Structure 1
Amino acid sequence: MTTAPATSAVTPVFSPLDLQSRSLGWQFGAVVLGTLFLAVSSYIEVPMVPVPVTMQTFAVALVGALYGWRLGFITITAWLVQGALGMPVLAGGAAGAHHFIGPTAGYLFAFPVAGALMGWLAERGWNGRRVVLAFFGMLLSNAVCLLLGAAWLAVIIGAEQAILAGVMPFLVGALLKSALAAATLKLLSRGRMRPAAQ
């Protein structure tokens, strides 16, 4: 009786960081670095009313794609908690719990959901090895931020104004940031292949 030879199939690594197989210490360090990355992205902004344009959605989607949905959700939530506690990590160095009840609240609460969605998609192949799918995943992540953010904004200023002020100005930016995030993910994933589990 003979056994079939082992195949040498190769599958894409879900994430070039491969955090799901790392120790808790590694994962804790990743959360700390992730919150720093999110904070830095918050300082890159174009002032607008009622919500500024920042690189936050770029960072949120990328953290989700690199960390996976669970660790991505934890990291983004930890960053928001830092902001709520008074650390200057929100848009333009803003801080304080009042941002979580004002015009930006819907966007802020949407960030962990958007990051988790991108992480969930990345774990299912929408990652750097399939850059077109990664791009559409990034777009979906951005769409979640815009939809949930505008839904809250509509409570404050009405649905029509929420769409005009809270969605329309950000559409081009969402496309550009999604493309940049997908390209970054592809660049980070280059050369990272491993044999499939036997």
Structure 2
Amino acid sequence: MSDIASASFKPAFSPLKLNSRSHGIQLVAVTLGTLFLALSSYIEVPMVPVPITMQTFAVTLVGALYGWRLGGITITAWLVEGAFGLPVLAGGAAGAHHFVGATGGYLFAFPVVGMLVGWLAERGWNGNRVLRAFAVMLMGNALCLTIGAAWLAVLIGAEQAIVHGVLPFIVGAILKSALGAATLRAVAPSAKRVDQV
């Protein structure tokens, strides 16, 4: 009975198998993950009050590939680097003041988004089923926009938060979700691929 119970908690999808690796390998994975997140921050389209970046693509992908625990740790480590002055945030920005400004809600949303995507990916919403992978990536992007806009609404009002913090990012969220799903499909173990939704 205990074997059955413990098996139900094991991730169904873990292409990198990081949960079963040594702490040293996991530390390397966290370091590489924070580097990937930092590099994604440099790909941006300047906008006011919040730029469009590839951060949500990277956040959802790290969550899906690393799983909810290690994904959350990796994303949090990246944000801590930014808070302590490393130029790893959007466009090479750094400093704790970004966490209380217009981008604060989006930044605080990232670990939550990565953990949600990772948790769902471990339970079948992944590259083995590409439509589910797209759906979970889209859910992650939508959650990020929702939390970010809620924070922004406190600063500039609800209407302006939607106009400036949600609407300009919808098309990008869809495209990044499709790219994330395609990436997951590419790394899904070919023997376990399932074409049904």
Same-fold call, TM > 0.5? Answer: yes
Distance between the aligned counterparts of 2:14 and 2:142, measured in 1? 23
Aligned twin of 1:5: none
- Confirm whether residue 124 of structure 1 aligns to residue 119 of structure 2: no
Within 1, Cα distance between the matches of 2:110 and 2:20? 25
* Unaligned 5+ runs, structure 1: 1-11
- Whether the 8 Å CA contact 1:13–1:193 is kept in 2: the answer is no
CA displacement at 1:15 relative to structure 2: 2.0
Which 5+ residue runs of structure 2 have no aligned equivalent?
1-10
* Equivalent position of 1:145 in the other structure: 144
Q: How far is the alpha carbon of 1:16 from its aligned partner?
A: 1.3
AA at the equivalent of 1:139: L
- Which TM-score applies when normalising by structure 1? 0.90
8 A Cα contact 1:13 1:192, kept in partner:
no
Partner Cα distance (2:75, 2:181) in 1:
19
Number of equivalences: 183
Instruction: Give the match for residue 134 of structure 1.
Output: 133
Identity %: 75
Q: Tell me the TM-score normalized by structure 2.
A: 0.90
Conserved 8 A contact 1:60-1:114 = yes
| 1:123-153 C-alpha deviation (Å, 9 max, x unpaired) | 1100110111010000010011100000000
Shift of 1:21: 1.1
Q: What is the CA deviation profile of residues 167-189 of structure 1, one whole-angstrom value per residue up to 9, with x for unaligned ones?
A: 00000000000000000011011
Contact 1:127 1:185 in 2 (8 A): yes
For residue 7 of structure 1, what is the aligned residue in structure 2?
none
Alignment pair present for 1:94 and 2:124: no
Q: Which residue of 2 aligns with 1:108?
A: 107
Partners in 2 of 1:80 and 1:54 — Cα distance?
Answer: 15
Displacement, 1:37?
Answer: 0.2
Higher RCO structure (Cα 8 Å, ≥6 apart) = 1
Between Structure 1 and Structure 2, which shows a larger proportion of helix residues?
2
The code of the aligned residue for 1:134 comes to: A
Q: Is the 8 A contact 2:18 2:26 kept in 1?
A: yes
Over aligned residue pairs, what C-alpha RMSD do you find?
1.4
